[in-house]
Amino acid sequence: MPDAARAPLNTPRLRFAPSPTGFLHVGSARTFIFNWLYARRNQGTMVLRIDDTDVERNTEASVQSIFDGLRWLGLNWDEEYRQSERLALHHRAAEAIFARGLAYRDFTPAHAGEDSQSGAQGAWLSNPGMREMPRAESDRRAAAGEPFALRYRVPRGEGRVLRFADGVYGEQTKLADEVEDFALLRSAGVPKDGSSSLGLWDGMPTYHLASCVDDADLRISHIIRGQDHLTNTFKHLLIFEALASEFPNFVTPQFAHLPLLVAPDGSKLSKRKHGPVVSITTYRDAGFLPQAFVNFLCLLGWSPKNDRDFLPLDEIRDLFTLEGVNRANAVINFTDEDPFDPKAVWLNAEHIRALPVEELARELEPVFRQAGFEAPREKVLAVAPLIRERIKLLRDAVQAADFFFVDELPAYDPAELIPQKGVAAMAVRVLETAQQVLAVTAFDHDALDTALRQAAASMGLKAGQAFQPIRVAVCGRKNAPPLFETLVVLGREVCLKRIGQALPKLASLA
RNA sequence: GUCCCCGUCGUCUAGCCCGGCCUAGGACACCGCCCUUUCACGGCGAUAACACGGGUUCAAAUCCCGUCGGGGACGCCA
């Protein structure tokens, strides 16, 4: 593992610190992306830290799913840590804070104060009797094995004002008197041994403590995170201050809070309430290109201010600044029928169109295989340019190109074979003529173009009218890629066979 | 309840800091037209917003105050 302390000074150090309590959330993904952009834009270091101090809720499956999601995005990181492997550091810090008198033990049974939240009375600041408890009594009860949580002793009655300059929201201030005595360590059961005179050792650090200690230890210089942390920042300021002598060279990070991503009804996106639409694997599996998805997410709460929407990653990186970040929450659209924001879909289509054929083919191959098609590389390469402008999501390719791969066309309505303002007899005539023409014409675009147009003219038909029966016979549907290219990819044999199969269908309609 | 944040077309946003160039720009979606062998792409066009009320000013989307609305935090979750 790289030694953080050896990293060059003055170079920004960013971190993304997800907690593994489920799949990677789109909001988290955006936070990661913005951190990454800032780091890469400013020659900084990107740290990935798994914040897994909540043993109750964390799962290894969730860690894997976060890695899957991050890897799919294709944005790399430079250092990687797990908070659960750094508990000793957190405990040492807690002990130091306690020793300095900046924290106290709270023996109130866990969860006891929870329902005070549901009532609508004033804000809770601390549990009665705990903050004031004499040290001797506190020590005695701890030594007796009574469980306790460790709480920060927030300065009160001094009129102390906490302040910081947020990179997005500007100058922020709050009275310390309004900050509650938040927990640093959770209560533990009876200590397994008497190893600590303080009896602190079994308590798991809370998010606030672990996060700040690690930020200090990893020398994080910029914290970019969701706006839901804006008011927590005052607590973090207090912790950083208390940690000053443990990390003498550490400078309090610069903070920048991001507007929240919200559901169409304006509520915060949640895994529980909104389901799979907030998981980035849903986008991946539907056939979004990661660069398109990143593009979309960047436009939620940030603007390049140049009227551009379709932006390749390197361009976003070069353009990214905190000044471009908005303050108002951004709605991400989805409904039960259509789980994807139309703008995300449009951007994806744009990115698909921008892909070189070889790359598109590489993306398409697994999609076709998954649909059960054989999909040899050569064929996918030939098909890709024909559907590139016709699909919005990669998975659309299955629908758009199935007839290139299947042996037998799925059943279709024979009436489709009959052109506009035409009758069955006309369709029959067209197909029979086409059989003769296709049997002798060279199978390349220009030759087919010339021959088929000529045939249409000789039958006294407009090209459009003559082409429809052929298109339907060969593709099994009216909407398809341009005819000549399609015929070429299909090949003479398949085309003749399918036209031969179409003819009898027409008989019943005559 | 307490504290904090936010409020420009349906949505994402430009403009706001440093009032006039804003009869408010772009994009998505929707609608219409054109191109065209179908579909799509592309082109053109239409509809659509400064939350409200006061104030300051010759002039306010832009500055100030208030109201209303929305969101967030207030856990031994993160």
Tell the burial category of A56 from Cβ atoms under 10 Å away from its Cβ (0-12, 13-18, 19+). exposed
Q: What is the mean pLDDT of residues A165-170?
A: 95
Q: Nearest residue (Cα to C1') for B73?
A: A231
Q: Is the CB of A482 under 7 A from strand B?
A: yes
Distance of CA A203 to the CA centre of its chain: 33
Q: What is the mean pLDDT of residues A122-146?
A: 89
| d(C-alpha A469, C-alpha A449), whole Å | 16
**Statement: residue A216 has pLDDT above 70:** yes
CA A141 to C1' B75, whole Å? 24
Instruction: Give strand letter and number of the nucleotide nearest A463 (CA to C1').
Output: B37
Sorted by sequence, the CB contacts under 8 Å of residue A450 that are 6+ apart come out as none
Residue range A241-283, pLDDT digits in tens: 999 999 999 999 999 999 999 999 888 888 888 888 889 999 9
Measured CA to CA in angstroms, residue A186 lies from A101, A176, A481, A507 at distances of 18, 22, 63, 80
What nucleotides of chain B have any atom within 7 angstroms of a protein Cβ? 1-8, 10-15, 25-29, 37-42, 70-78
Q: Is the CB of A266 under 7 A from strand B?
A: yes
**Statement: residue A369 has pLDDT above 90:** yes
- Bridge-based pairing of strands A103-106 and A79-82 is unpaired
Q: Is the CB of A191 under 7 A from strand B?
A: no
Q: Is the CB of A324 under 7 A from strand B?
A: yes
A12-47 in b/e form (b: 16+ CB < 10 A) is bbbbbbbbbbbbbbbbbbbbbbbbbbbbbbeebbbb
Structure tokens at A356: 């070189």
Chain A 273-302 residues whose Cβ is under 7 Å from strand B: 299-302
pLDDT at residue A120, as a whole number: 44
Residue labelled with tokens 């740290």: A47
pLDDT at residue A3, as a whole number: 47
| d(C-alpha A166, C-alpha A252), whole Å | 12
Q: What is the mean pLDDT of residues A189-205?
A: 58
pLDDT at residue A436, as a whole number: 96
CA A358 to C1' B71, whole Å? 45
Taking a C-beta distance cutoff of 8 angstroms, is the pair A206, A182 a contact?
yes
Instruction: Give the ipTM of the model, two decimals please.
Output: 0.95
Sorted by sequence, the CB contacts under 8 Å of residue A137 that are 6+ apart come out as none
- Structure confidence at residue A190 as a pLDDT band (50, 70, 90): very low
- Bridge-based pairing of strands A45-50 and A13-16 is parallel
Q: Is the CB of A20 under 7 A from strand B?
A: no
CA A67 to C1' B56, whole Å? 56
Q: What is the mean pLDDT of residues A48-76?
A: 91
Chain A 303-322 residues whose Cβ is under 7 Å from strand B: 303, 305, 307, 309
Chain A 344-363 residues whose Cβ is under 7 Å from strand B: 345-346, 349-350, 353
| d(C-alpha A131, C-alpha A126), whole Å | 7
Q: What is the mean pLDDT of residues A428-440?
A: 96
Structure tokens at A236: 């973090």
Query: Which residues of A are tagged catalytic?
Result: 271
Q: Is the CB of A228 under 7 A from strand B?
A: yes
CA A312 to C1' B53, whole Å? 45
| d(C-alpha A419, C-alpha A437), whole Å | 19
Selection from A438, A167, A476, A441 nearest residue A324 by Cα: A167
Q: What is the mean pLDDT of residues A168-188?
A: 93
Distance of CA A142 to the CA centre of its chain: 45
How many of the other CB atoms lie within 10 Å of CB of A98?
22
Instruction: Give strand letter and number of the nucleotide nearest A181 (CA to C1').
Output: B74
Mean pLDDT for chain A overall: 91
CA A378 to C1' B11, whole Å? 41
- Structure confidence at residue A208 as a pLDDT band (50, 70, 90): very high
Which CB contacts under 8 angstroms, 24+ apart, belong to A88-91? A89/A213, A89/A214, A89/A217, A90/A53, A90/A205, A90/A209, A90/A210, A90/A213, A90/A214, A91/A185, A91/A200, A91/A201, A91/A205
CA A266 to C1' B72, whole Å? 12
Sorted by sequence, the CB contacts under 8 Å of residue A157 that are 6+ apart come out as A177
**Statement: residue A498 has pLDDT above 80:** yes
Q: What is the mean pLDDT of residues A368-392?
A: 97
**Statement: residue A104 has pLDDT above 90:** yes
Terminal CA-to-CA distance of chain A, rounded, Å? 77
Beta-bridge partner residues of A173:
A163
- Structure confidence at residue A54 as a pLDDT band (50, 70, 90): confident
Residue range A302-358, pLDDT digits in tens: 999 999 999 999 999 999 999 999 999 999 999 888 899 999 999 999 999 999 999
Which amino acid is located at A242 in the chain? A
Sorted by sequence, the CB contacts under 8 Å of residue A74 that are 6+ apart come out as A290, A291, A294
Chain A 56-115 residues whose Cβ is under 7 Å from strand B: 57, 106-114
| d(C-alpha A137, C-alpha A99), whole Å | 15
Taking a C-beta distance cutoff of 8 angstroms, is the pair A332, A293 a contact?
no
Sorted by sequence, the CB contacts under 8 Å of residue A267 that are 6+ apart come out as A273
Instruction: Give strand letter and number of the nucleotide nearest A323 (CA to C1').
Output: B17
| d(C-alpha A357, C-alpha A378), whole Å | 12
CA A277 to C1' B72, whole Å? 22
pLDDT at residue A194, as a whole number: 47
Q: Is the CB of A467 under 7 A from strand B?
A: yes
Q: What is the mean pLDDT of residues A57-83?
A: 94
